[in-house]
Structure 1
């Protein structure tokens, strides 16, 4: 059976909300690929039920209600999407094996281009939106039940009242307040503090040094850009590593690059954070997708790096297949 075609006049009304609905679905499920599909399913469900929409709420509120319940249906029976640090194990030995787990679906990064357009938003609104898709926050959401995620996003991100959230989810106000209390307590345990007060000039200088360290394959330089608290993780490998010396040892022993020029880097952004696309030179002197580095920058040095080995993400970020 073919998928019905949504009426063009309906799409004109709802298409301006695509970016924010994509961000909402991404926060719910932790996957950029699933979020895109869920937004399309939301539009299809809304189109089918548009005749029953009686303007008792705004179109935006109504679509968020449909999107939230569409995500909740999609999450039934599914496991959360963690990062390696969310598996509850201690940091790993950089000299050891790098095990993987085929049964896990990992948290994915969200390209900034999918949620921010060319029009400059209000600075206050932009700060709220950027904070709500920060990787640390989305990773912390993965420790909540689907209903707790929904309640936090509706009440704390979208500023809905408990009564409105209860009506949208088909539960009691007491259930919303109880879920919200538990969710906030869990988030306070899971969410790491981020220092994001550094200047744009500092960001550029630190990123320039980081890029140069990899393109020059200068591991000693890389180590100087990290601290004893810096965390390095790289799904689908289940281990994670902490501290400049441990990370330096990991790169020296496990990275297939061996000399300056083996890697080239393109810059982009995701989750409101810097993302670096690393290309590795092959035997034919072609540079092919290797991994994406998503960086959290601290006050003076790099605080956290997530290296994604899923090269299908290069296309999601609009990056070239080869350099």
Structure 2
């Protein structure tokens, strides 16, 4: 069947081409997201990669599978975009209040969340003998942030080898390099990434423990119960707010920011609408002005749960993402309760 479709596509049948690549579209989109860290850029790069594949059908010699050929094109398109500065770096927002001095400033301000609704549509290829990370691990925000801090070719090598399970020889062919270079890049990427990832116990996505912690977080956050919220955090908790570069690490630093944020919020009510991102519990945040019955978008909060506590909070300040998550443009007070599972 593949050979028939390939022959028709080479003859100029665009419908045959679409049928040929459709089984791989969603996983290629996720691949572009891993390399670029941006949902928006991944959508653009997927279209560029498929267009390049359509135009380059005559060069496909069949030595590798269609899937591997498409991954080669998508990987190199992403690397070219990063090299050429084509990745869109959003401007840093101006804080609406004087924030406390951050613990550090992040350079990966382009990071965006990935809706679980899209992850659910990615075909399960099953872990290969070369894989090191399961799907949940390889899309979590800490992993994604770690990838963005790697040199691009190291990140691509790690994803192709440890996430997708391609052999060193296959990756060398995709990146036009040698197996020795692949092994060296992979070793360096693993060492760097391992240092940036938490060693705490990873909670299963959707587990009762995850749901209970996210429920308690939502209840404390909405009630402005700072002490209750701090009691849920791990000792090495962090707070990040892309595309703002500010990061706060440790309970004291996080608490100082939450106090300043709470003072600015004043009498505005905070509403949380549950969703999921990167196989992690998440909430659409809304601010309701005093006396108003609806809340307006105020970012998407993604929780990183480690062991028996919340190890990270990432609040994405780009409200244009609400549409991608199927979140309402307005949230009515009383309609969403913090006790709903995330």
Scaled by the length of structure 1, the TM-score of the pair is 0.84
> In the aligned structure 2, how far is the partner of 1:152 from the partner of 1:266?
35
Corresponding residue for 2:7? none
Distance (whole Å) between structure 1 residues aligned to residue 227 and residue 177 of structure 2 = 56
Alpha carbons of structure 1 residues 39 and 227: separation in structure 2 relative to 1, 3 Å = same
Supply the distance in 2 between the matched residues of 1:286 and 1:75 (Cα, whole angstroms): 40
- Residue 288 of structure 1: CA displacement? 0.6
How far has the Cα of 1:282 moved from its partner? 3.1
Q: How does 1:68-147 map to 2 (within 5 A)?
A: 68-78=75-85, 96=100, 105-117=109-121, 121=124, 128-147=134-153
Say whether the 8 Å CA contact 1:81–1:105 is kept in structure 2: no
- Report the CA distance shift for 1:192/1:101 in structure 2 as closer, same or farther (over 3 A): closer
Does the 8 A contact of 2:303 with 2:312 survive in 1? Answer: yes
Query: Offset at 1:73?
Result: 1.0
In the alignment, structure 1 residue 200 sits paired with structure 2 residue 204: no
Gaps of 5+ in 1: 83-93
Secondary structure of the 1:312 match is helix
Corresponding position: 1:185 with 2:191? yes
Cα deviations by residue, 1:204-227 (Å, 9 ceiling, x for unpaired) = 111111111122222222122223
- Higher mean alpha-carbon deviation, 198-207 vs 301-310, is at 198-207
For 2:320 and 2:314, the matched residues in 1 are separated by 16
Could you list the per-position Cα deviations for residues 261-284 of structure 1 after superposition, in whole angstroms to 9, with x for gaps in the alignment?
Answer: 701111111111111111111365
Aligned to 1:64: 71
Contact 1:223 1:245 in 2 (8 A): no
1:163 corresponds to 2:165: no
Matched, 1:239 2:239: no
**Is 1:319–2:323 an aligned residue pair?**
no
Residue 18 of structure 1: how far off its partner (Å): 1.7
Inter-partner Cα distance in structure 2 for 1:293 and 1:54: 46
1:263 corresponds to 2:270: yes
State the shift of 1:75 in Å. Answer: 0.9
RMSD: 3.1
- The alpha carbon displacement at 1:77 in A equals 3.8
Kindly tell me: are residues 203 and 81 of structure 1, through their superposed partners in 2, closer, same or farther at Cα, counting changes over 3 Å? farther
**CA contact 1:112–1:272 (8 Å) conserved in 2:** yes
Alpha carbons 2:296, 2:330 under 8 Å: kept: yes
Quick one: distance in 2 between partners of 1:101 and 1:282? Answer: 31
CA separation in 1, counterparts of 2:189 and 2:250?
Answer: 30
> 2:100–2:260: 8 Å Cα contact kept in structure 1?
no
Corresponding residue number in structure 2 for 1:305 = 313
279-288 vs 73-82, greater mean Cα deviation: 73-82
Runs of 4+ in 1 over 4 A off after TM superposition: 79-82, 97-104, 121-127
Partner of 1:44: 51
TM-score by length of 2: 0.79
Instruction: Write the mapping of 1:219-238 to structure 2, written as runs, cut at 5 A.
Output: 219-238=226-245
Contact persistence 1:144–1:186 (CA under 8 A): yes
1:41 touches 1:70 (CA, 8 Å); kept in 2? yes
- In 2, distance between residues paired with 1:44 and 1:118? 21
Report the CA distance shift for 1:163/1:296 in structure 2 as closer, same or farther (over 3 A): same
Write out per-residue CA displacement over residues 148-187 of structure 1, whole angstroms, 9 at most, x where no aligned residue: 1111111222222222111111112222222222222222
Q: Distance in 2 between matches of 1:123 and 1:13?
A: 21
Contact between 2:305 and 2:312, CA under 8 Å: does it hold in 1? yes
In 1, the alpha carbon distance for the partners of 2:311 and 2:13 equals 45
